[in-house]
């Protein structure tokens, strides 16, 4: 770590780390992480897919960069590992797996690419993947098939539902398909407790604490759906949950790494990924409400910027560990590509507000 960097320097360094994670895999996806002791991890389809919107946003700001070439490389790699049904097969843990969450993040990438330039991706790929995802839903809107834990549909899976709402604006959905995604939204909303916590939200039903990473996945998804559908009631639901988190952040003067269903936070570490995602949620709320959210977003981002490596050996330069401290509970000793994705997103979101 080094001296505090300006926003543009931080943006550039974050992009260069992401660029490195793709080049180290010869353009065939982005390496899932760099481990301080074990080196680079395997390419990760899920996170490579949702890097696409981040790289497009960077390209718009810096059109002479390599960002668009990186997007094209990722897209071609994802095409090479698509099944006939349109879903992506493979994860770092299991090369034969195909998870509903992972494919939802790839769909977000496809939708962003088509919206940016329809010539860069066949719309049929978006429709096929959407149909595959819809087939993983039960009649009540739950995702029970191809989830990380069988028959367990936590709140953060709403991020896959967000992808389907994005796809609905690109490909023509039948009334039956629209009904399915509306039923799914109702399912996720009934997970909200009276204290504005969505339960369950952890990776496993055995875990009593959910990472801020998971909690922010859900809030961002519902916020985006609220904006797509112009649903003020849904926006208020997100705002109330965010207020509960902001209150604790203000009291503790740091962001807990995780929360239980009673909003008890674990302040022994910070989940950097989740803090960055929450900063993005706060930033987006500031555009609809008051400046309190913008101040909180800036405070989170500015604190994390001080932890970015602006010097050092090439595999870590520009990176951020996924936990503070770096040996904390979440992804210890690792700079993950999804942390860097959300760091870049948070910096670009802040840049828009400047």
- Put residue 319 in one of left, alpha, beta given phi > 0 → left and psi -120 to 50 → alpha: beta
CB-based burial label for 13 (10 Å; 0-12, 13-18, 19+): buried
Query: Is the sign of the CA dihedral 206, 145, 272, 327 positive or negative?
Result: positive
d(CA 245, CA 292): 13
The rounded mean pLDDT for the chain is 95
- Contact between residue 296 and residue 283 where contact means Cβ atoms under 8 Å apart: no
What is the DSSP annotation of 132-157?
HHHHTB-TTS-B-SS-SSTT---GGG
34: which 2 tokens? 């760099």
How confident is the model over 12-41, as pLDDT tens digits?
999 999 999 999 999 999 999 999 999 999
CATH of domain 7-353: 1.50.10.10
pLDDT for 352 equals 82
> Does residue 268 carry a pLDDT above 60?
yes
> Does residue 170 carry a pLDDT above 90?
yes
How confident is the model over 119-168, as pLDDT tens digits?
999 999 999 999 999 999 999 999 998 999 999 999 999 999 999 999 99
The SS3 assignment for 257 reads coil
159: which 2 tokens? 């991020």
Residue 161: count other Cβ atoms within 10 Å of its Cβ.
Answer: 25
- CA torsion angle 333 334 335 337 (round to 10): -170
DSSP annotation of 6: P
| More confident position, 63 or 314 | 63
How confident is the model over 76-127, as pLDDT tens digits?
999 999 999 999 987 766 777 899 999 999 999 999 999 999 999 999 999 9
pLDDT for 2 equals 41
């Amino acid at each position: 770590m080094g001296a505090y960097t300006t926003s543009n320097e931080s943006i550039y360094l974050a992009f260069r780390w992401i660029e490195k994670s793709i080049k180290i895999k010869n353009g065939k996806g982005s390496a899932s992480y760099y481990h301080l002791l074990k080196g680079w991890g395997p390419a990760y389809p899920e996170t490579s897919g949702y890097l696409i919107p981040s790289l497009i946003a960077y390209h718009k700001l810096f059109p002479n960069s390599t960002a668009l070439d990186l997007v094209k490389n990722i897209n071609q790699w994802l095409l090479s590992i698509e099944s006939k049904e349109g879903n992506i097969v493979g994860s770092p843990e299991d090369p034969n797996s195909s998870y509903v969450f992972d494919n939802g993040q790839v769909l977000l990438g496809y939708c962003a690419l088509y919206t940016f330039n329809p010539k860069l991706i066949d719309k049929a790929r978006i429709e096929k993947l959407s149909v595959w995802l819809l087939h993983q839903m039960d009649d009540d809107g739950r995702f029970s098939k191809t989830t990380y834990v069988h028959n367990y549909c936590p709140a953060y899976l709403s991020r896959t539902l967000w992808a389907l709402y994005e796809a609905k604006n690109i490909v023509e959905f039948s009334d039956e398909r629209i009904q399915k995604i509306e039923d799914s939204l109702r399912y996720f909303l009934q997970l909200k407790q009276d204290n504005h916590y969505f339960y369950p939200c952890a990776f496993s039903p055995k875990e009593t604490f959910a990472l801020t990473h998971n909690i922010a996945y859900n809030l961002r998804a519902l916020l985006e759906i609220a904006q797509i559908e112009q649903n003020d009631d849904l926006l208020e639901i997100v705002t109330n949950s965010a207020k509960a988190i902001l209150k604790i952040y203000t009291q503790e003067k740091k962001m807990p790494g995780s929360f239980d269903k009673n909003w008890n936070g674990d302040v022994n570490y910070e989940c950097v990924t989740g803090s960055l995602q929450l900063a993005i949620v706060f930033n987006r709320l500031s555009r609809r409400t008051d400046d309190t959210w913008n101040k909180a977003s800036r405070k989170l981002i500015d604190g994390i910027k001080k932890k970015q490596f602006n010097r050092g050996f090439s595999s870590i330069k520009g990176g951020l560990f996924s936990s503070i401290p770096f040996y904390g509970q979440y992804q210890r000793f690792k700079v993950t590509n999804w942390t860097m994705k959300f760091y870049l997103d948070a910096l670009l979101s802040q840049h828009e507000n400047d």
